[in-house]
Amino acid sequence: MSKTIYKTVITKLGESINEFLDQGMIITFKDNAPAELAEFCLLHSENDLRKDIQVGDTLKIGERSFNVTAVGDAVNQNLSSLGHITLRFDGAEEADLPGTLVLENKEIGTLSVGDVITIER
């Protein structure tokens, strides 16, 4: 049985978020993000990370699931303190930046305000 180690809800999608979605990336930020960043981000409500994220965990956005393939060195700290990480959907086995959580290379699909995001083990 899987255990939820992180859960949040999308509160807002920045007007320019598609520029990153088209490159297979989502930048997340807690809903107090500075305005100049917020327009590129998926904003959410929670920073409740219960355990460090590891390779093999599953990130879910709504009904869609993505396996975690790499975890940047700063991901757990940044998610806990700022709710700010980059989700990269390219299946790499190494994160290119410390704040990047790498997920399997799958279509992201449509994002909507109110979608629940969880990370499960």
**Domain ranges, ordered by start, for the chain:** 4-120
pLDDT at 55 (0 to 100): 98
84 is a catalytic site residue? no
Span 29-45, average pLDDT? 93
Q: Could you read off the pLDDT of 46-84 as tens digits, one per residue?
A: 888 999 999 999 999 999 999 999 999 999 999 999 999
Structure tokens at 77: 């700290």
CB 61 within 8 A of CB 98: no
Give the CA distances from residue 36 to residues 14, 40, 49, 53, in Å, rounded to whole numbers and listed in that order. Answer: 10, 8, 26, 28
pLDDT at 1 over 90: no
Catalytic residue chosen out of the listed positions 21, 28, 44, 117: 44
Q: What is the pTM (predicted TM-score) of this model?
A: 0.95
Q: Could you read off the pLDDT of 96-111 as tens digits, one per residue?
A: 999 999 999 999 999 9
Structure tokens at 61: 């956005």
Structural fold of domain 4-120: M1 Pyruvate Kinase; Domain 3 (2.40.33)
